[in-house]
Amino acid sequence: MTRREFITLIGGAALARPLSARAQQQPMPVIGLLQIGTPSSFSLSGFRQGLKEGGYVEGQNLAIEYRWANDDPGSLPDLAADLVRRQVRVIVVLGNSLSVQAAKVATNTIPIVFGHGSDPVGLGHVASLNRPGGNVTGMTSLSSELFGKQLGILHELLPYAHHVGVLSNPTGPSHKSVVKDTQTAASGIGQTIEVLTANNTSDEIAAVFARLADEKRVQGLLVSNDSLFRTRRVQLAILAARYALPTIYPFREQAEAGGLLSYGPDLANRDREVGHYVSRILEGEKPANLPVLQSTKFELVLNLQTAKALRLQIPATLLARADEVIE
Q: Which helix (H) or strand (E) holds 289?
A: none
Q: Is there a single domain that holds both residue 101 and residue 157?
A: no
Asked if the structure places residue 169 within a domain, the reply is yes
Any idea how long the chain is? Answer: 327
Q: Is there a single domain that holds both residue 89 and residue 203?
A: no
Asked if the structure places residue 14 within a domain, the reply is no
Asked if the structure places residue 205 within a domain, the reply is yes
Q: What one-letter code names the amino acid at 297?
A: K
Cβ–Cβ under 8 Å, residues 54 and 14? no
Q: How far apart are CA 187 and CA 192, in angstroms?
A: 7
Q: Is there a single domain that holds both residue 273 and residue 130?
A: yes
Q: Is there a single domain that holds both residue 233 and residue 120?
A: no
Q: Is there a single domain that holds both residue 283 and residue 223?
A: no
Is the pLDDT at 321 greater than 80? The verdict is yes
Burial class (CB in 10 A: 0-12, 13-18, 19+), 62: buried
pLDDT at residue 13, as a whole number: 46
Q: Is there a single domain that holds both residue 245 and residue 312?
A: yes
What band does 100 get if pLDDT is binned at 50, 70 and 90?
A: very high
Asked if the structure places residue 13 within a domain, the reply is no
Single out the residue of 239, 246, 254, 240 nearest to residue 300, CA to CA: 254
Asked if the structure places residue 20 within a domain, the reply is no
Q: Is there a single domain that holds both residue 128 and residue 257?
A: no
Asked if the structure places residue 10 within a domain, the reply is no
Domain harbouring 59, CATH code: 3.40.50.2300
pLDDT at residue 10, as a whole number: 44
Asked if the structure places residue 21 within a domain, the reply is no
Domain count within the chain: 2
| Helical pair 233-242 and 202-215, crossing angle rounded to 10 deg | 20
Q: Is there a single domain that holds both residue 202 and residue 227?
A: yes
- pLDDT tens digits along 199-212: 867 788 999 998 88
Q: How far apart are CA 298 and CA 250, in angstroms?
A: 10
Q: Is there a single domain that holds both residue 126 and residue 155?
A: no
Least confident of 30-44, 52-66, 70-84, 286-300: 30-44
Those residues whose C-beta lies under 8 Å from the C-beta of residue 75, and which sit 6 or more positions away, are 69
Q: How far apart are CA 274 and CA 40, in angstroms?
A: 20
Q: Is there a single domain that holds both residue 173 and residue 199?
A: yes
Q: Identify the residue with better confidence: 212 or 223.
A: 223
Those residues whose C-beta lies under 8 Å from the C-beta of residue 112, and which sit 6 or more positions away, are 90, 91, 92, 93, 100, 103, 104, 135, 136, 137, 138, 287
Q: How far apart are CA 148 and CA 167, in angstroms?
A: 15
Q: Is there a single domain that holds both residue 117 and residue 167?
A: no
pLDDT at residue 9, as a whole number: 47
Q: Is there a single domain that holds both residue 111 and residue 79?
A: yes
Asked if the structure places residue 24 within a domain, the reply is no
What band does 1 get if pLDDT is binned at 50, 70 and 90?
A: low
Domain containing residue 247: 143-265+299-326
